[in-house]
Amino acid sequence: MADSFEFSIDGLEEFQHALEKAIQKAPAQAEQTLLEVAKEFKASAKRKANSELKHVKREGDDKKWAIKRRWGHKQVDDRLGATVLVWNSAPHFHLVENGHNLVRGGRVIGFVPGKHIMEKTRHEYEDTVPERFEKMVEDVLKESGLD
């Protein structure tokens, strides 16, 4: 019963090289995809705000307060990964987003419901974001020869 069993695997070095190539490419590709999604999210939220809000013609210094002019995004890197923040810096955006009391003459006479622009846009992107990252992973694997 002293039979020996032997086997060999050919092409393991090529597979290892392709994996290393994919591992090196994935983080940069993920950050690029994240930034693209954030830019699209910001544009979608801006379009939604422009369509849902009553437009007031502003002049002079009041122009800088307009919600449609105050959108921004920024990539934040930390040790665990990357995050992109999308915001509107108009000082009254939180009132439009979440709602506020309607005050006349120092008395509360009602409540103005929020438009929930960011929340609605986030719901639109719940399915889009995973699909985009799955496609990004498939592209990285294909470019590395692991398809």
Render pLDDT for 10-25 as a digit per residue (tens, 0 to 9): 767 777 787 888 888 8
Largest CA distance in the chain: 100
- Domains in the chain: boundaries: 19-52+65-116+125-143
**Closest to 95 measured CA to CA, from 115, 122, 73:** 115
Rounded to two decimals, the pTM is 0.79
What CA–CA distance (Å, rounded) separates 140 from 135?
A: 9
pLDDT digits (tens, 9 = 90+) for 35-54: 999 999 999 999 998 888 87
